[in-house]
Amino acid sequence: QKEVEQDPGPLSVPEGAIVSLNCTYSNSAFQYFMWYRQYSRKGPELLMYTYSSGNKEDGRFTAQVDKSSKYISLFIRDSQPSDSATYLCAMSAGNTGKLIFGQGTTLQVKP
């Protein structure tokens, strides 16, 4: 079993839809949770960063962490065609030097 599981999709939605992206994990030591967005043939860029449990909002993006269920989510409101990309969840146990990534979910937002 992989430490981090992410549905690879692809996920296709109409413009304006609410998108939910999810990851599950098995290592209860993970404390730092991140979502990266990666456009085709580019490096990933950090979207959201959360520590421990709870919600964090930034514009149209909301990240949720539920440590009791070992489950994290990224919600995108009013999705735009420019949101079409691969979204990678990532998590770390802290000062270990290792950031573990999910497989990535490919999202397409159709105009």
Question: What's the token pair of residue 80?
Answer: 């735009």
From 14-22, 59-67, 71-79, 96-104, give the range in contact with other proteins by CB under 8 A.
96-104
Q: Residue 78, interface with other proteins (CB under 8 A)?
A: no
How many CB atoms neighbour CB 17 within 10 A? 15
Write each residue from 48 to 67 as x if it is in contact with other proteins (CB under 8 A), else as -, in one continuous string.
Answer: -x------------------
- For residue 79, what are the contacts with CB-CB under 8 A and spacing of at least 6? 13, 15, 16, 17, 18, 19, 60, 107, 109
Q: How far is the CB of 69 from other proteins (least distance, A)?
A: 21
The residue within the footprint of other proteins, chosen from 68, 82, 95, 111 (CB under 8 A), is 95
